[in-house]
Amino acid sequence: MYKPYDNPYEGIIISGIVSASVADEWVLIGLESVGAGAVFYVASFEMLPEAFQGESWKMTKYVLTLFGIAIIAILQIFHEDHDHDSINCGEGH
């Protein structure tokens, strides 16, 4: 009988197989967007409200949340300048 989390590397293996077998890059982009949206939903609507309950460290929690969002935004802005159109960009990805 299959038990969830039998293989902790199962998601990585499935991701590698799907990435290697998808011919259209837009399908892969769509799948990655759905995954990112799911993580954002869980963080925003399931975890954050519970973390912000209570009065202890409330302002610090808000500041650190905004700081994390800013770090991700900065990484995204600087990554946009990188050209992925070449066959081998030399960056290891």
Report pLDDT digits (tens) over 31-89: 888 888 888 888 888 888 888 888 888 888 889 989 998 998 898 888 765 555 555 55
Structural domain boundaries, residue 14:
1-51
CA distance 50 to 57: 13
Over the stretch 10-38, which tens digit does the pLDDT of each residue have?
Answer: 777 877 888 788 888 888 888 888 888 88
- How many independent structural domains does the chain possess? 2
Q: What is the pTM of this model?
A: 0.50
Q: How far is CA 2 from CA 6, 7, 10, 87, in A?
A: 8, 10, 13, 40
One domain, residues 40 and 71: no
Q: Does some domain include residue 16?
A: yes
Q: How far apart are CA 73 and CA 68, in angstroms?
A: 9
User: In 3D, which of 8, 29, 34, 10 has the Cα closest to residue 19?
Assistant: 29
Q: Are 82 and 89 in contact (CB under 8 A)?
A: yes
Q: Quick one: 12 and 45 in the same domain?
A: yes
